[in-house]
């Protein structure tokens, strides 16, 4: 990776790569900024300091025409509306301290029980009532030889949303000339805590040319997925995907089996489960591939994480309207959230999400975009 330099200027440009920023409103008396990053190769993205949120992401189709392939809003008001909070989609946001669910909204560390907000029925979801998705992140502009990006930082104070320890978090978004979006996570703590960070981007590679995202072809490099109960809390069992609608070891259209008569599918109203990736060594490995036939767009997902939550947008209800007035109907977009497993604190066999003082949480996920002619 190229050596990165940090610039605090409002905009910078060289080698056709560009960063600009503009006001995006205010939240709790703090100014929110919206950064636009362009890689000079037909790809661009917008990131708000509210939630570290990716609001728009443009990639070329097979004809070279750029289209917005993620779900989001053109103004901050969209992320603060009553309709948005009712659905709770977390469009494009950074998620922490704990991505995904923790059963019964509590966990125990070193013999001490910590109680969390029950914001998903009786369970805890995505960091609580005011998780990292609602924080204002500090941003530094970054320029490398072959990438442009933002380094976002946030201090989650001891006791915030019930979690112990002061957690210092850095997340770097890099847009490369190879049409990759690299997301690098880092965190340290001064007290034993939990840490499981991810990004909640929703993708629709058709960029408005299809009524929903069900026509995408998906491959997930996982032979097992995590069994969930009716509240989408893991039971602790790993199930084989073979012979089930969860088998994406070869390409399948997302909508092909999503409404099959399957108890696991019914628990989430469709796909909303953790796939246990075959790669186990913590190195950056291919986790998933996506192809959208109308546009020809492709996406490859690489990660150092042991799992990926594939969520098919089952809870979108058609009452949200995003960029270019796109109506976000049920299953309009899908998520591939790289992560440690849900509810890990209650399952000793799962990869640990504990972070100790002196350790550094480090994770990387890469979304690589292309086209198939």
- How do residues 106-115 score in pLDDT, each as one tens digit? 999 999 999 9
Distance separating the N- and C-terminal Cα atoms of the chain: 29
pLDDT above 50: residue 1 = no
Annotated catalytic residue, options 160, 337, 340, 364: 337
The confidence band for 15, taking pLDDT boundaries of 50, 70 and 90, is low
CA-nearest of 44, 54, 76 to 200 is 54
pLDDT (tens digit, 9 = 90+) per residue, 201-236? 999 999 999 999 999 999 999 999 999 999 999 999
Residue 249 token pair: 């070891």
**Active-site option among 200, 216, 273, 340:** 200
- Go through the chain and tell me how many residues it has: 373
pLDDT of residue 8: 31
The pLDDT of residue 4 is above 80: no
Q: What are the tens digits of pLDDT across the range 312-341?
A: 999 999 999 999 999 999 999 999 999 999
With a pLDDT cut of 90, the percent of the chain lying above it is 95
How far CA 268 is from CA of 259, 264, 312, 318, in Å, comes to 11, 7, 10, 18
Token pair belonging to 209: 């040319």
- For residue 11, the tally of other CB atoms under 10 A from its CB is 13
Instruction: Give CATH for domain 5-371.
Output: 2.70.98.10
Indicate if the pLDDT at residue 2 is higher than 90: no
pTM value is 0.95
Question: What DSSP letter does each residue of 39-91 carry, written as one string?
Answer: -SSS-EEEEETBTTEEEEEEEE-TTS-EEE-B---SSGGGGSSHHHHHH---T
The reported pLDDT for the residue numbered 69 is: 98
Active site residue 337: yes
Summarised one tens digit per residue, pLDDT across range 256-314 is 999 999 999 999 999 999 999 999 999 999 999 999 999 999 999 999 999 999 999 99
pLDDT digits (tens, 9 = 90+) for 147-206: 999 999 999 999 999 999 999 999 999 999 999 999 999 999 999 999 999 999 999 999
d(CA 371, CA 174): 20
The domains of the chain are located at 5-371
pLDDT over threshold 50, residue 350: yes
The pLDDT of residue 16 is 86
């Amino acid at each position: 990776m190229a050596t990165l330099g940090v610039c605090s200027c409002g905009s910078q440009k060289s080698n056709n790569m560009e960063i600009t920023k503009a006001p995006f409103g205010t939240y709790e008396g703090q100014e929110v900024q919206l950064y636009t990053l362009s890689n000079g190769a037909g790809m661009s993205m917008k990131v708000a300091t509210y939630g570290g949120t990716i609001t728009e992401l443009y990639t070329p189709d097979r004809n070279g025409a750029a289209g917005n392939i993620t779900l989001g809003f053109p103004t901050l008001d969209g992320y603060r509306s009553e309709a948005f909070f009712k659905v709770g989609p977390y469009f494009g946001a950074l998620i922490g301290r704990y991505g995904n669910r923790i059963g019964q909204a509590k966990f125990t560390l070193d013999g001490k029980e910590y109680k969390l907000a029950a914001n998903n029925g009786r369970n805890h979801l995505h960091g609580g009532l005011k998780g990292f998705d609602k924080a204002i992140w500090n941003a530094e502009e970054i320029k490398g030889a072959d990438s442009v990006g933002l380094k976002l930082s946030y201090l989650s104070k001891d006791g915030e949303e019930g979690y112990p320890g002061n957690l210092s978090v850095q997340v770097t978004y890099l847009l490369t000339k190879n049409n990759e979006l690299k997301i690098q996570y880092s965190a340290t703590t001064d007290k034993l805590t939990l840490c499981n960070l991810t990004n909640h981007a929703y993708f629709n590679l058709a960029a408005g040319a299809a009524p929903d995202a069900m026509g995408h072809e998906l491959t997930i490099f996982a032979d097992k997925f995590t069994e969930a109960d009716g509240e989408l809390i893991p039971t602790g069992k790993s199930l084989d995907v073979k012979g089930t609608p969860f088998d994406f070891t070869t390409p399948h259209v997302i909508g092909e089996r999503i409404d099959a008569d399957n108890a696991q599918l019914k628990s989430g109203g469709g796909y909303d489960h953790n796939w246990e990736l075959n790669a186990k060594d913590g190195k950056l490995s291919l986790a998933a591939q996506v192809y959208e036939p109308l546009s020809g767009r492709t996406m490859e997902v690489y990660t150092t994480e042991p799992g990926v939550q594939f969520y098919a947008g089952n809870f979108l209800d058609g009452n949200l309207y995003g960029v270019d007035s796109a109506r976000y109907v049920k299953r309009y977009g899908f998520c591939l959230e790289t992560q440690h497993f849900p509810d890990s604190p209650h399952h000793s066999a799962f990869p640990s999400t504990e972070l100790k003082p002196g350790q550094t949480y480090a994770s990387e996920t890469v979304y690589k975009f292309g086209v198939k002619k």
